[in-house]
């Protein structure tokens, strides 16, 4: 008998949809299969005003077409005043903090956490979660996340009622911090659950697997995979799908970011089944996020069945082309339909 499963309102809690031609190309991949997603604000220029937020939201909904998809908006955290944060609270799911220069379009991010303490205090009072790219700008690429942990710990202690989302967690040391602090939660990507640095450059360098935070050791990958498979209530799925054009990726100075949107649910079902944890997938891709953020997403039933799906080798329209994660590879589950 055909094996099927239904996921109720899957959510992608960390998503880059970009803008313009790229937005129009990539948004449908997420909007077809997910009920909603947390939209990262690092377009150019980054989202820092209410006008920019509303107009970006409109462009996203347009790009999603007929699909039922709720964009949960975020803003780029900077030195806003209390009145602005109070107004923004009704329109954002979180404020995103990028330490300056660590990732795409984050040059305006925080150079110094102290300077943002008034904003963190106001966010704590207003119940606005802090979404954070937890990496320092230090020299050892593989230790940037680990080196950021003292800063995260400082924020968690100083603002005990501030909900902190440790985005795209990639190290076992990071996971320990999530376990130790009640107010720290994390998103987990498909690529940090599946890849190590050997996939990225063990043989030849594959720029399509290059992202920040960079994929790490087997021990880190296995630790991340384990909390995901167990659907630990402190973690939730967030793809960090972050497209760059094929041209920008296949160049001497490749941009950081993995475009995973076309592979997500089929690959997650395959992995959870392989480890005998299919019953935890609903929690990992939806229920945990609802509980952590206290949200009630639109109702959307996504039906999957166990039959072959091939991830597209490339995704393109007339104006843009991107190579997805697991391009051209077979997957043992597919999305059959959506209600
Ligand atoms: Zn991201």
Query: How far, in Å, from the CA of 130 to the mean position of ligand 1?
Result: 14
pLDDT of residue 104: 62
Which region among 71-80, 139-148, 237-246 has the lowest average model confidence (pLDDT)? 139-148
What residues contact 70, with CB distance under 8 A and at least 6 apart? 35, 36, 37, 297, 298
Q: Enter the tokens of residue 289.
A: 């996020």
Phi, psi of 96 (to 5 degrees): -100, 125
254 pLDDT higher than 80 = yes
Average of per-residue pLDDT across 206-224: 96
Average of per-residue pLDDT across 163-184: 98
Does residue 240 have an active-site annotation?
yes
231 pLDDT higher than 70 = yes
pLDDT of residue 107: 60
For residue 57, give the 3-state DSSP assignment.
helix
For position 206, which CATH number holds? 3.20.20.140
Higher pLDDT, 91 or 2: 91
138 pLDDT higher than 90 = no
Mean pLDDT of the chain: 95
* Residue range(s) defining the domain that contains residue 183: 4-338
pLDDT band, very low/low/confident/very high, at 292 (cuts 50, 70, 90): very high
C-alpha distances (whole Å) from 75 to each of 94, 96, 109 are 7, 6, 11
pLDDT band, very low/low/confident/very high, at 108 (cuts 50, 70, 90): low
pLDDT of residue 122: 98
Q: Is the separation of the CB atoms in 311 and 326 below 8 Å? A: yes
Which of 119, 77, 80 lies closest to 100, judged by CA? 77
Measured distance CA(16)–CA(26) in Å, rounded: 9
Query: How far, in Å, from the CA of 150 to the mean position of ligand 1?
Result: 21
Query: How far, in Å, from the CA of 2 to the mean position of ligand 1?
Result: 36
Query: How far, in Å, from the CA of 122 to the mean position of ligand 1?
Result: 24
Q: Is the separation of the CB atoms in 224 and 193 below 8 Å? A: yes
**Helix (H) / strand (E) containing 70:** strand 70-76
Q: Is the separation of the CB atoms in 17 and 63 below 8 Å? A: yes
Query: How far, in Å, from the CA of 253 to the mean position of ligand 1?
Result: 19
Average of per-residue pLDDT across 264-284: 98
Query: How far, in Å, from the CA of 80 to the mean position of ligand 1?
Result: 22
C-alpha distances (whole Å) from 185 to each of 11, 18, 173 are 16, 25, 14
What residues contact 263, with CB distance under 8 A and at least 6 apart? 190, 311, 324, 325, 326, 331
pLDDT of residue 197: 96
This prediction's pTM:
0.96
pLDDT band, very low/low/confident/very high, at 180 (cuts 50, 70, 90): very high
Query: How far, in Å, from the CA of 218 to the mean position of ligand 1?
Result: 22
152 pLDDT higher than 70 = yes
Query: How far, in Å, from the CA of 170 to the mean position of ligand 1?
Result: 12
Query: How far, in Å, from the CA of 308 to the mean position of ligand 1?
Result: 29
- Which is catalytic among the residues 21, 81, 82, 240? 240
pLDDT of residue 109: 57
Average of per-residue pLDDT across 206-216: 96
How many domains is the chain built from? 1
Q: How many residues make up the chain in this entry?
A: 339
pLDDT of residue 105: 62
One DSSP character per residue, 227-258 reads: HHHTT-TTEEE---B----HHHHSSTTPPP-B
pLDDT of residue 89: 98
Query: How far, in Å, from the CA of 16 to the mean position of ligand 1?
Result: 6
Query: How far, in Å, from the CA of 1 to the mean position of ligand 1?
Result: 39
Give the Cα-Cα-Cα angle 245, 246, 247 (nearest 5 degrees).
Answer: 85
């Amino acid at each position: 008998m055909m094996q099927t499963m239904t996921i109720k309102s899957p959510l992608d809690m960390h998503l880059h949809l970009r803008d313009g031609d790229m937005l129009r190309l990539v948004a449908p991949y997420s909007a077809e299969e997910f009920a909603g997603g947390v939209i990262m604000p690092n377009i150019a220029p980054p989202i820092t005003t209410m006008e920019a937020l509303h107009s970006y939201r409109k462009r996203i909904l347009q790009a999603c077409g007929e699909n039922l998809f709720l964009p949960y908006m975020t803003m780029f955290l900077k030195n806003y005043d209390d009145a602005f944060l109070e107004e923004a609270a009704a329109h954002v799911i979180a404020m995103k903090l990028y330490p300056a220069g660590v990732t795409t379009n984050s040059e305006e991010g925080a150079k110094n956490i102290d300077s943002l303490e008034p904003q963190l205090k106001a966010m704590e009072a207003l119940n606005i979660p802090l979404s954070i790219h937890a990496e320092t700008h230090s020299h050892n690429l593989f230790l940037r996340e680990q080196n950021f942990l003292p800063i995260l710990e400082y924020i968690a202690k100083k603002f005990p009622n501030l909900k902190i989302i440790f985005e795209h967690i990639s190290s076992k040391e990071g996971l320990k911090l999530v376990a130790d602090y009640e107010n720290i939660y994390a998103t987990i990507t498909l690529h940090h659950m599946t890849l190590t640095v050997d996939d990225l450059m063990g043989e030849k360098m594959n720029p399509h697997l290059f992202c920040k935070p960079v994929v790490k050791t087997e021990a880190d990958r296995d630790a991340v995979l384990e909390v995901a498979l167990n659907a630990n209530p402190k973690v939730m799925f967030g793809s960090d799908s972050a497209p760059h054009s094929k041209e920008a990726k296949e160049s001497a100075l490749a941009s950081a970011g993995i475009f995973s949107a076309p592979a997500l649910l089929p690959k997650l079902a395959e992995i959870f089944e392989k480890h005998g944890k299919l019953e935890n997938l609903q929690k990992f891709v939806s229920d945990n996020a609802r509980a952590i953020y206290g949200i009630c997403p639109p109702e959307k039933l996504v039906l999957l069945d166990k039959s072959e799906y091939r991830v597209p080798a490339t995704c393109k329209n007339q104006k843009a082309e991107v190579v997805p994660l697991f391009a051209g590879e077979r997957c043992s589950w597919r999305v059959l339909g959506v209600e």
